[in-house]
Amino acid sequence: MMARIAWLAGFAALIGVMCGAPAARAASPQAVCQQAGTDDTLRPIPDSLVPAAVRLFGLSAMPAEAVRNGTYFRCFASHVFVCNVGANLPCGKADTRSKLPGANEWCAKNPDSDFIPMYVTGHDTIFGWRCKGASAVTTGRVLHVDPRGFVAEMWKEAD
């Protein structure tokens, strides 16, 4: 009888592996960050972080699935930080370059323009841009960079 139970348990485990059954429940973001400390990996948020993302980014009119699909978390100093990509909102590392080859090309075609569009400069630049003659120049810093190199205004502590 015990041999038969052991065989059935082994067979059930094998079927679970073959069917892709999860081995264990994923750790919560808080547990991940407590263990990781600081980790710049962007991870999709689980359902448990959707209410925090809604509150922190004012997304009450957005469906929960859209919030979950457009929001990431990362770990900083053992805390959970979240970013919602939204329209034109970068969650990746900031672009701190003060010279952009694509911007110079745009200015060559649009000399003395008061602005350079973000499709040219990228949405992750921390500077505003304009053309001085045929050269791209910054109008100054418009976003800040956190200690890990991300756009500080885009990330909010979730816990």
pLDDT digits (tens, 9 = 90+) for 85-138: 977 788 999 999 999 989 999 999 999 999 999 999 999 999 999 999 999 999
Q: Is 21 part of any domain?
A: no
Q: What pLDDT is stored for residue 33 in this prediction?
A: 95
pLDDT bin (cut points 50, 70, 90) of residue 159 is confident
Torsion angle (degrees, nearest 10) of CA 105, 109, 110, 111 = 80
73 plus 119 within the same structural domain: no
Which pair of tokens denotes residue 51?
């209410």
| DSSP 8-state code for residue 47 | G
3-state secondary structure of 9: helix
H-type alpha helices, the chain: 2-18, 29-36, 50-57, 64-69, 101-109, 118-121
Q: Is residue 7 part of a domain?
A: no
Q: Are residues 85 and 35 in the same domain?
A: yes
Full domain range(s) for residue 109: 101-141
Give 25's DSSP letter: P
Q: pLDDT band at 4, cuts 50/70/90?
A: very low
C-alpha span between 71 and 37 (Å, rounded): 20
Residue 66 included in any domain: yes
Our count of domains for the chain comes to 2
The helix/strand/coil state of 130 is strand
